[in-house]
Structure 1
């Protein structure tokens, strides 16, 4: 059973990686941002995603890079980054996050409309 779960999870991760590469293009690199609450993300998230709750996103994207690195242990996205993918549980907060990021000049912001719920259904 555990092996079967790993197999399905691995297949879902491969599908997500292909989707991210497709969104990013051949030379780009997609970055995933989970904009759900810390509690929601702690219960499970898409591997490799950085959790920044939507309530913190505006201030996070306006931080100096060193402050962002210190707080989130990750490199701050750059305005010119082409493939910043935001997601939440069902799609609404991900859309809000994408719109906010774009309003701050992150023109490469995208929303994973299927959200964590879709990813989890495909994973399991």
Structure 2
């Protein structure tokens, strides 16, 4: 069981990081997410599982980020060319999909709800390594 906890230790924060980045560069989507969060949860108080389940647009933003940038590489280079780029499989599919999928999705929605209630994100200056 501990292996399942470790398996999700890095992937959920990585996906959340990319979702925050995407919302920072697409301010209209960030604004729409914030409006949905304020409508469903208000601006203060606890956020419940039921509230998280009602956040459809936030869920769509997370799902689209996961589709574009899956945190776990699942395709060998030889198979990647044959995969439809619009396919959504960040958690796998079928009977052997990720058992932590629902937990990861709820964690990301909860984190985004708290972050977007408090902060507005903007893209930073481009960093050049050197």
- TM-score w.r.t. the length of structure 2 is 0.28
Structure number with higher helix proportion: 2
Structure number with higher strand proportion: 1
1 or 2 for the larger relative contact order (CA 8 Å, sep ≥6)?
2
- TM-score w.r.t. the length of structure 1 is 0.29
